Amino acid sequence: MASADFHRQALEHIDALYNFAMYLTRNPPEADDLVQETYLRAFRFAHRFQAGTHLRAWLFQILRNTFLTFYRIREREAAVAEDGVPDWDVPMFHDAPDETGGALEAHTDLERAMRRLPEEFRTVLLLAEVEGFPLDEVARVMACPVGTVKSRIFRAKERLRALLRDYDTR
């Protein structure tokens, strides 16, 4: 794939990558940095991309791996945020439409429930159900077998159902 074509095609996924970065970091400046680092790595290693494979999944895999690397470094550096403000109150779905009343409450409850899931459950659910990745591409991003992805999605949905069971009666 020619360099200009690769760059053009890669940049078509910038919004989806930013959404995923916001989900992972819950911090706009960190999400910007993560997307920038993802593109730096993707462009630097473009020669490793296999033409005919799923570019979007490859970019998501780079973003996730970059996040995990930075996350591990950051955890070692500081266990507590400088300002003492927890990051769990930053919206996970930052680009959700404005909502009022019950819809906003349900959206907030869904975000809280999602945060209670283990990372590997949240991520597969986000990639498969929100981003619409096929299961084989989710498996590639997560570096695990498709069967594991299916199992994690099932278990994530089961846990969400349990956490949100009050909505069954509404």
pTM of the entire structure?
0.67
SS3 81: coil
Q: What was the pLDDT predicted at 81?
A: 47
Distance CA 119, CA 121 (A): 5
Q: What is the pLDDT along the chain (170 residues), one digit of tens a residue?
A: 568 889 999 999 999 999 999 988 888 999 999 999 999 999 999 988 888 788 999 999 999 999 988 776 665 555 444 444 444 444 444 444 454 555 666 667 778 888 888 888 999 998 998 888 999 999 999 999 999 999 999 999 999 889 888 765 54
Distance CA 74, CA 68 (A): 10
Q: What was the pLDDT predicted at 104?
A: 64
Distance CA 27, CA 52 (A): 34
Q: What was the pLDDT predicted at 74?
A: 62
Cα 100 to the chain's mean position, in Å? 25
Q: What was the pLDDT predicted at 26?
A: 85
Q: What was the pLDDT predicted at 120?
A: 87
Q: What was the pLDDT predicted at 90?
A: 45
